[in-house]
Each structure stands twice: as structure tokens, then as C-alpha cells.
């Protein structure tokens, strides 16, 4: 049974520090303190895996690995890998925006330096722990580290353009690559070892503060990922490794041509024959890092909109069945009853609702969508749901409200009745007072920020994922205000 509670959505990259990107260092611990001081029980993050060129956490190059950009140079200094003088920070052009290109250069420099010192046997006790880590995580780490080493050697992100023997994973080619790229492979494994250490430290700290973590599992994976290269048989690919069909959504009110995500779709029949091993390993890893997991695009487990390739639009797609109840039965048999949240927004069908209800998984609802009628929707009065003021894909409350027509804005005000606070706090309080077991708000809504603080605009190819906090915004005054709302709604129990 889920206790009545609340929390905040903030990706660690958006934390404020002296570097070009937020990380798992002191800024993360300070945010955990803020959550505790404000009476919150949950910290929700976006996927924490390595990102590709778009920097989207939903286009990851590995569903198992941790994002090296989240590694804290402060923590590396504490462990003796770096000296204080080496933490020279090149100024970020905009302290309110993540500078990904600078962050990549910084982190690569620091991590390479740390690896050189680690290799020099100055950390004998840690060497044993490192070897144990490799053995424990071998099921994904061996392939991932080889994939990254080959990528660096070939200088081509698209593995379908690698040499044929590497693309097809011919044993002799992989054996030779492991021999020739041994140092680079070990470096990639070392980076993942550091991530595991830093993550575990933050995870333990949050647990001591009674802060639980919510993770995010995207349904689909990027084509240019170690997952697809390592397990091509579970995806619908051509003989050359390219996707034969890709996932997306059909035309709707938001797009006359639909959305083409260019992400390969699963061969659910092959996955079933394999006992869903890859998915079980993936979810086991995620559940080891988080207390609850949001299943992104839950609708896709019932049916997937598949678009034949090549395609510039989603006009010619068709629906194909997903894993359904057979998949979730296998997951439950392997992992027990899992603490999932179903992201079931969008064009739901009765089959989607039936699957979620059969699994007793709470669905997701957004306050910005609650003002189409004269009364609040039925889900506002339900317990087995998670209510958000907005998600990473929504505009902020302030931005959303400002862009409403005068008529719609008056309609919202009429439903809210006596407006005594800024609209962001009116909606936060309204969400917190709902019957939902869990309520969550993006940090931007708590701060009352406008559209320029939006995390993601779906369909926009550049400019997403860059927002971050400014130094000093996590004030005690803000914590007290959020605590008051939380206490008044009986969510700090």
C-alpha cells in the first residue's frame, strides 16, 4: 500500500553547481536536504543512462549503463583521483542552462586522469572491488564497454556502418577487438564502476532522509545503442542491421503527420521465447537503483504504432500488438510485484486501462488537463493514481497559463474559485489536496518559472534538456512554503 505522499521532479543534470552540468555531488545532497526540509517523500528523475547527440535521456546509448556526465568531480577529488587544482572550471556561457559540449570535455578530461591514476595501482583495495564489479555486472557491462571502445576506434556512432564483421558480431572480430582495445574497454568499465559508487552513496543518503527515488524506463531504445547491437534478434531489423520499422504515433490534433521516433520496435515473439531475459535484467537493474519506476509509454505494451522505413512522416504506420499480460506475468514471476507507475497519457484504449487495472499499477494524470469541463475529472478523486502538475514534456504552469486564451484562462479561474496565490501555487495546492496516493510537481512549477524553463518540447529537435536551477533558488523560505502546503494536505505523514 502506497502512503499518501508527495515529491518533486528534477533531473540531476538540472542541479546547480560550479560546473557545466548538475551531477551526483554536493548539489544532489543539497537537493535531498531541500526535499526533506519541505516534507517531500519522493525525488523523481528522468532516465539516468548515457545520452546520445540529442542529449535526450530518452535516446540513450545503453539502458543499463549510468550517464558519465552525472559523475561528480568533487567526489573524485574526495577519493583521491583528482587534485583540487585540477578542478578548473571553464565558465559556462549561461549558468541557467546546461552546457553539454563543455560538460563532455570536462568530464572526459577528469575521468581519463582518474583512470590513469587508478591504473597506476595507487588504489590496490579498490582494484579488487573493481574486478568484483565487472564480474557482477558482466551480463551487460562486457558488451557495453566493447561497444563504446569500438565506437571510439571507428569514430562512427552508427554501428550499422562499422566493418561487417564487427557489425555482425562475428566471434573472431570481437575477440580481436577485445585484445586490441583492452585499455579502452577497461576505461569504460572503470567509469561505470565510479557511477555505481557515486549512485549508491547518494541512494543511501536519500534513504537516511526518508527520501525515495522514482526512476524512468523508456519503452523503446535508441537504434545506435549497445542494446540493439548486442541483441539484434529482439528487434525488427533488416539484414544490414537497420530498422525495418520504427516506433511513433499516428497523426492527431498536435501533428497532422504524426511523430516518427526512429527507434526500433521489439520482436515480442522472440522476447517471449527467450523468457523476456533482456527485459528482466533491465528492470532488475532499474529497481536496484530506484524505489519506484515509471514505465514510459505504457500504451506501447498493449500496441505499438509501427512505421515502415524509410519514412519522413508517420502517415503510413499501423498498430501491432505489444507484450501485454504475458510480458508482465513473466516480469512478476521473475521479480515479484514491482512498484511501477504507468505513464498512460495519450490515446488510451479500453485494453490499456484493462491491463493497468489487472496489474494494479497506478496511472498518471496531469493537472493542466483538468480544466476542460466545469468539474474536476473523476481521476482527481481516485487514490490509485499519481497526479502531476506537469511533466517534463509539458510547459510549466506559468507558461501554460500565460498562453491560454482569455476565455480559457477565465474558465480556469472560475474552477479555482478564490484565487489567493500565483497560479503555480494554486495548482500545486489543488494537486496536493487530491485523493491521489502520490502527487508530484516539476521543480520549475514550485519556482513559478515561465516557458523558458521548459525541459522538453516534443518534436523539437534542438534546444531541449538544457534547463537547470540557479544557485540559491533552493531557499529555506521556499522549503517552508512547500512544507506548509504538504502538511495542510496531510501528505507529510
Positions marked catalytic: 296, 343, 393
Phi and psi (nearest 5°) for 311? Answer: -155, 140
Rounded CA separation 223/205 (Å): 35
DSSP one-letter string for 267-294: -HHHHHHTTTHHHHHHHHHHHHH-SEEE
- Please state whether beta strands 438-442 and 385-388 pair in parallel, antiparallel, or not at all (unpaired): parallel
Rounded CA separation 271/267 (Å): 6
- Please state whether beta strands 303-308 and 318-321 pair in parallel, antiparallel, or not at all (unpaired): antiparallel
Scan for cell 511523430, then name that residue.
259
- Please check whether residue 12 is in contact with residue 48, taking contact to mean a CB–CB distance below 8 angstroms: yes
Length of the chain: 493
Considering only CA atoms, give the Rg of the chain.
23
Count CB atoms within 10 A of the CB of residue 336.
Answer: 8
Beta bridge partners of 441: 8
Rounded CA separation 100/108 (Å): 12
Rounded to whole angstroms, what are the CA distances from 483 to 57, 251, 280, 290, 490?
Answer: 30, 42, 38, 24, 10
- Please check whether residue 113 is in contact with residue 482, taking contact to mean a CB–CB distance below 8 angstroms: no
- Please check whether residue 7 is in contact with residue 32, taking contact to mean a CB–CB distance below 8 angstroms: no
3-state SS assignment for residue 455: coil
Phi-psi region of 324 (alpha: psi -120 to 50; beta: other; left: phi over 0): left
Residues 6+ apart with CB under 8 A from 219: 247, 295, 296, 297, 298, 300, 301
- Please state whether beta strands 245-249 and 303-308 pair in parallel, antiparallel, or not at all (unpaired): antiparallel
Q: How far is CA 446 from the centre of its chain?
A: 20
- In the numeric block, which cell numbers belong to residue 270? 522472440
**Closest residue by Cα to residue 100 from 13, 159, 225:** 13
Amino acid at each position: 500500500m502506497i502512503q499518501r505522499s508527495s515529491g518533486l521532479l528534477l533531473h540531476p543534470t538540472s542541479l546547480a553547481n560550479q560546473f557545466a552540468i548538475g551531477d551526483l555531488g554536493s548539489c544532489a545532497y543539497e537537493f535531498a536536504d531541500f526535499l526533506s526540509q519541505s516534507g517531500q517523500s519522493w525525488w523523481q528523475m528522468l532516465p539516468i543512462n548515457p545520452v546520445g547527440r540529442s542529449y535526450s535521456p530518452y535516446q540513450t546509448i545503453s539502458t543499463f549503463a549510468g550517464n558519465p556526465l552525472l559523475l561528480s568531480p568533487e567526489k573524485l577529488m574526495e577519493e583521491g583521483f583528482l587534485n583540487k587544482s585540477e578542478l578548473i572550471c571553464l565558465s559556462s556561457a549561461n549558468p541557467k542552462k546546461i552546457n553539454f559540449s563543455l560538460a563532455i570535455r570536462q568530464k572526459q578530461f577528469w575521468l581519463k586522469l582518474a583512470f590513469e591514476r587508478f591504473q597506476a595501482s595507487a588504489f590496490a583495495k579498490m582494484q579488487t572491488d573493481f574486478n568484483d564489479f565487472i564480474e557482477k555486472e558482466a551480463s551487460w557491462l562486457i558488451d557495453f564497454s566493447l561497444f563504446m571502445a569500438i565506437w571510439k576506434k571507428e569514430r562512427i556512432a552508427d554501428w550499422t556502418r562499422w566493418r561487417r564483421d564487427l557489425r555482425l558480431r562475428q566471434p573472431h572480430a570481437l575477440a580481436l577487438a577485445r585484445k586490441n582495445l583492452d585499455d579502452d574497454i577497461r576505461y569504460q568499465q572503470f567509469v561505470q564502476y565510479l557511477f555505481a559508487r557515486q549512485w549508491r552513496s547518494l541512494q543511501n543518503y536519500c534513504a537516511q532522509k526518508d527520501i525515495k527515488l522514482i526512476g524512468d524506463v523508456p519503452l523503446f531504445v535508441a537504434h545506435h545503442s549497445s542494446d540493439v547491437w548486442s541483441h539484434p534478434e529482439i528487434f525488427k531489423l533488416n539484414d544490414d542491421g537497420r530498422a525495418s520499422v520504427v516506433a511513433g504515433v499516428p497523426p492527431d490534433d498536435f501533428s497532422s503527420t504524426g511523430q516518427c521516433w526512429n527507434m526500433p520496435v521489439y520482436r515480442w515473439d522472440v522476447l517471449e521465447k527467450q523468457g523476456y531475459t533482456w527485459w528482466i535484467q533491465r528492470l532488475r537493474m532499474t529497481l536496484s537503483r530506484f524505489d519506484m519506476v515509471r514505465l514510459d509509454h505504457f500504451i506501447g505494451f498493449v500496441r505499438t504504432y509501427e512505421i515502415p522505413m524509410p519514412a519522413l512522416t508517420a502517415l503510413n504506420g499501423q498498430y501491432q500488438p505489444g507484450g501485454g499480460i504475458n510480458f508482465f506475468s513473466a516480469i512478476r514471476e521473475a521479480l515479484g510485484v514491482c512498484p511501477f507507475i504507468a505513464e498512460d497519457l495519450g490515446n488510451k484504449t479500453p485494453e490499456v486501462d484493462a491491463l493497468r487495472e489487472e496489474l494494479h499499477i497506478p496511472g498518471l494524470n496531469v493537472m493542466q488537463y483538468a480544466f476542460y469541463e466545469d468539474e474536476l475529472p473523476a481521476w482527481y478523486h481516485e487514490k490509485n493514481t499519481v497526479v502531476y502538475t506537469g511533466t517534463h514534456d509539458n510547459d510549466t504552469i506559468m507558461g501554460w497559463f500565460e498562453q491560454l486564451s482569455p476565455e480559457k484562462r477565465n474558465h480556469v479561474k472560475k474552477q479555482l474559485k478564490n484565487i489567493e496565490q500565483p497560479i503555480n501555487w494554486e495548482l500545486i495546492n489543488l494537486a496536493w489536496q487530491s485523493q491521489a496516493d502520490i502527487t508530484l510537481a516539476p521543480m520549475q512549477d514550485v519556482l513559478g518559472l515561465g516557458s523558458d524553463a521548459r525541459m522538453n518540447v516534443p518534436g523539437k529537435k534542438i534546444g531541449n534538456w538544457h534547463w537547470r536551477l540557479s544557485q540559491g533558488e533552493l531557499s529555506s523560505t521556499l522549503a517552508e512554503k512547500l512544507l506548509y502546503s504538504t502538511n495542510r494536505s496531510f501528505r507529510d505523514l
